[in-house]
Amino acid sequence: MKNKNLFLKTRLLLMILSLMVLGVSFSAEGAIDGVISSSNHFTLTAKSGYIDTPEGGHLFTWGYALNNANMQYPGPTLLLKQNDVVTVTLKNELTVPVSIVFPGQPDVAATGGVPGLLTMEAPPGGTVDYMFTASQPGTYTYYSGTMPELQVEMGLVGAIIVRPSTNPSTQAYNHASSAYDREFLYLLTEMDPEIHRKVSEGRMNEVDTTTFFPVNWFINGRSLPDTLLEAPSLLLPSQPYNIVPRMRVGERVLVRMIGGGRDFHPLHLHGNHHKVIARDARLLESTPGTSGADLAEMLFSTTVASGQTTDAIFTWTGENLGWDLYGHSFADPLVSNETFAETTLLSSLSSNAFSTSLTVADASGFPATSSFRAIVWSGTFPGTTREIVRLKRSFGNTFTITGRGLEMIPLTQGNVEASNWPSGSRIAYTDHGRPVPVKLPDQLDLTNGMFWSGSPFLGTAGPLPPGEGGFNPNSGFFFMWHSHSEKELTNNNVFPGGLASMMIVEHPDPLIAPFADNPNITVVP
């Protein structure tokens, strides 16, 4: 017990240290780690080992190892190209028969081994070759087809990504509707430690899978906060994959979700809805093969069902939040994506005329209740005089100035101050110059966070406690992406933990060097 606590403390300390490193360097993050074979021949060895869970759990696990490497959980993510003719050789170093099934792959030919219920199985010490053609792109899974109700629980599960022949590095499928800037894998699983304990003690015949009661939950084989640890990590030798999604404002992020376990998990992506474009590696399209993801669905939680795969596009611009996400001052020039609804004034707006109206149709694009910022100008935007005012809808399509010359600073251009806007001037709804409200810590506070922004992006600039503010150099904004089954935010009854990670949205300023996707890809012959 004492040792375990010491171990736990050491691990936490090491983790914090590595998080600090991560915060400074942001290296080895992004994209999807996995294995590529130049000859399309992968050798997976089923073997046993242990995985660690953040609350101090140490679970006996079966997994697919790459060649003779460590047992890993989940198995290696196989990175394939469309039409690859793939051979997966399974070697079995376990004491029970084992196999691999590849749902979604047609005509898998299995040679060697002995027949099982779902495919040919490798007996202990034996080998099976599985061959298939990865004819369709998408997100797939593989797992043991032998006694799967036990062996999947024990860890014999992994992911397959088949890249399309069209734009394989920027599209998930052979259609532009699946284009993305960055991609991340969410292979969701769970474990019931009781089953692992019985198997490790050689009491496999006492396992009753109908009493399955999971208390640990994983993304890519790790639980929060280990999900945020670097990948690979010396601390987690059997769990080589992490999950730290990062994006720059406005990018399209492809989220590949796989239900690897026996339970459904509602994956909730904070920050915005996501657009589900494919299930089971098929675009949601009205005319298969041509229409693209025209039947895509907007969701804020996706039910990640067992064995099923779901691809979704997430993007985040901060649009319509009412804050300037770019940290501009009012005097800064507007950037092109800062104005939202835009139209023409139907009546003049000036110091004497406090209200103006828009067409009913155009007014529908403007906020209905809260007061908001608008930019008014004439001529060709933004080449003429302009002004930022605060407006509020008074009724219908009529808007009244509620702020002008107070916190609002008239913009000037060419030393001409605008103040009178005749009917026909243009107006647009904008968040320009409105900082995100951030409560900065007191100077005397002892803060425990390395991610206090103290930055102009996504927050108010201001003095921070000594030593703080240096760990989020790209001024990222954090969203938790997690299971919405809140019970799953624990590690064996210890909160917080479980099926969660953090999405970091970073500033799009071209002066900040865009971070590189730097996946850990093992290339085998």
CB atoms < 10 A from the CB of 10, how many? 11
Nearer to other proteins, 149 or 486 (CB): 149
Region 344-363 residues binding other proteins, contact defined as CB under 8 A: none
**Residue from 35, 90, 215, 284 that binds other proteins (CB under 8 A)?**
284
| C-alpha to C-alpha distance for 463 and 444, rounded to whole angstroms | 11
| C-alpha to C-alpha distance for 297 and 17, rounded to whole angstroms | 41
Q: Applying CB under 8 A, does 195 fall inside the site for other proteins?
A: no
Indicate the DSSP class of residue 516: P
| C-alpha to C-alpha distance for 505 and 189, rounded to whole angstroms | 26
Q: Applying CB under 8 A, does 264 fall inside the site for other proteins?
A: yes
Overall residue count recorded for the chain in this entry: 525
Closest approach of Cβ 279 to other proteins, in Å?
5
Pick from 92, 85, 93, 137: nearest CA to 109:
85
DSSP state letters, 257-281: EEE-SSS-EEEEETTS-EEEEEETT
Nearer to other proteins, 9 or 203 (CB): 203
Q: Please report, for residues 61, 149, 190, 492, the alpha-carbon distance to residue 194 in angstroms, rounded to integers and kept in the order given.
A: 12, 14, 12, 11
Closest approach of Cβ 42 to other proteins, in Å?
19
How many Å separate Cα 457 from the centre of its chain? 20
**Residue from 55, 280, 342, 509 that binds other proteins (CB under 8 A)?**
280
- Identify which range of 60-68, 140-148, 341-349, 498-506 contacts other proteins by CB under 8 A: 140-148
- Identify which range of 179-187, 298-306, 315-323, 447-455 contacts other proteins by CB under 8 A: 298-306
**Residue from 279, 328, 432, 434 that binds other proteins (CB under 8 A)?**
279
Size of interface with other proteins, in residues (CB under 8 A)? 45
Closest approach of Cβ 120 to other proteins, in Å?
5
Beta carbons within 8 Å of 283's beta carbon, 6+ residues apart: 173, 175, 177, 178, 277, 292, 293
Q: Per-residue x/- marks for other proteins, 230-259, CB under 8 A?
A: -----------------------------x
**Residue from 5, 83, 135, 286 that binds other proteins (CB under 8 A)?**
286
Q: 């994959």: which residue's tokens?
A: 241
In contact, 219 and 257? CB cutoff 8 Å: no
Region 92-121 residues binding other proteins, contact defined as CB under 8 A: 101, 103-111, 114-120
In contact, 215 and 492? CB cutoff 8 Å: yes
| C-alpha to C-alpha distance for 325 and 513, rounded to whole angstroms | 18
How many Å separate Cα 432 from the centre of its chain? 27
Q: Applying CB under 8 A, does 295 fall inside the site for other proteins?
A: yes
Q: Applying CB under 8 A, does 301 fall inside the site for other proteins?
A: no
**Residue from 207, 219, 293, 312 that binds other proteins (CB under 8 A)?**
207
Q: Applying CB under 8 A, does 290 fall inside the site for other proteins?
A: no
Q: What residues line the site for other proteins (CB under 8 A)? A: 101, 103-111, 114-120, 145, 147-150, 152-153, 207-211, 259, 262-264, 279-280, 282, 284, 286, 288, 295, 303, 305-308
